[in-house]
A = this chain, B = another copy of it.
């Protein structure tokens, strides 16, 4: 390699790096409606909007095969991509699947991976249309690209939130992160010891949220039925704080969310206490929930209240007010994006 000045990637972090590398990109094709910067890119062919999203998952960074069954991994790898398409208010239609495998893997491993993949695809009506299968020197790499469609008027970006809009989330938050903590703890305890079955009873939900997350197709359908069109939307993969700040930055607004309104499951709260962690911090920064975060006009308050599984957690403000969390005792804290960042110095 050439002798050049070397700047550590950690100085920028994931989002900084993407911004740095892509800020000079000029779009050339009239069919390209939206490029880098949202859950998916938006292309337009003959007046139909096509959505494209992609994820690259690396063993040792995104998953640990010690406690992740291959079938679950296949399922999750597909789901996280569908989630990005739903987060644009679209419908996933096709995926391509690329795998790089080391010699450690056998055909049966990949069959299980494909079983999980196909199960997710069947549930969401998605076709596997191609991919690439190759070898890797170490570990497993999984790259999935998902293509979806949406009517032109329905596509929902991150940049449409308006002052007085309500901030909503689906499901509950922090459970996937607690599931990961639990698995990591059991791994550390039992490492090297065979024939031990850790007792996960009473914590099944946490494991399921980590190992078999769902993409909220149902929420998209409910919103559509109720005639609600979100003004901004994204899925919660890196943590509520981080995603809220993306929406606020891109929409040039601020927000206030209320600690007491953040939906947290009972098992999440119990586990946080067991680990001596603040459950709100876990919900704000945990990541991998794959729930939907969206804003809707204030006038849709009654409509949204009637949908099960959606919670209004706050509202959008003027930009100068920043992004704030109101705690249970009425104090206000500035939200910080402390979510998962694979490219940040640990």
Interface of A toward B, CB cutoff 8 Å: 1-2, 4-9, 11-12, 14, 17-18, 20-22, 24-25, 27-29, 31-32, 34-36, 40-41, 43, 45-48, 50, 52-56, 58-62, 65, 69-70, 93-94, 96, 98-101, 103, 105-112, 114, 118, 121-122, 125-139, 141, 143, 145, 147, 149, 342-343
Once the chains bind, are A36 and B145 in contact (CB under 8 Å)?
Answer: no
Known contacts A7-B106, A129-B52, A130-B53; A41/B94 CB under 8 A: yes
Given contacts A12-B107, A138-B138, contact A46 B46 (CB under 8 A): yes
Given known contacts A94-B52, A136-B58, A137-B60, A5 and B131 CB-to-CB distance under 8 angstroms: no
Not counting A7-B107, A25-B127, a sample of 20 additional A-B residue pairs whose C-beta atoms are within 8 angstroms of each other reads A2-B112, A5-B108, A9-B101, A9-B103, A11-B107, A18-B131, A20-B107, A32-B129, A36-B131, A40-B130, A45-B50, A45-B149, A52-B129, A52-B145, A54-B145, A60-B137, A61-B135, A137-B139, A143-B143, A147-B147
State how many copies of this chain the complex holds.
2
B21 A56 Cβ-Cβ under 8 A = no
B43 touching A94 by the CB < 8 A rule?
yes
Q: How far is the CA of A133 from the CA of B65 in the complex (A)?
A: 21
Residue in B closest to A136 when the chains form the complex, CB atoms = B58
Alpha-carbon gap, A152 to B110, bound state (A): 34
B134 A62 Cβ-Cβ under 8 A? yes
Return the chain B residue nearest A135 by Cβ: B342
A143 and B98 form a contact (CB under 8 A)? yes
Shortest distance from the beta carbon of A274 to any chain B beta carbon, whole Å: 28
- Docked complex Cα distance between A48 and B31 (Å): 12
Chain B residues positioned under 8 Å from A96 (CB to CB): 41, 52-54, 145
Complex Cα distance, B99 from A18, in Å, reads 10
| Residue of B12, B20, B105, B141 touching A9 (CB-CB under 8 A) | B105
- Pull 13 A–B residue pairs with CB atoms less than 8 Å apart, ordered by A: A1-B65, A17-B107, A24-B118, A28-B121, A31-B93, A40-B130, A41-B130, A43-B93, A45-B45, A54-B98, A54-B132, A61-B100, A143-B143
Asked, given contacts A9-B105, A137-B60, whether A130 binds B36 with beta carbons under 8 Å apart, the answer is: yes
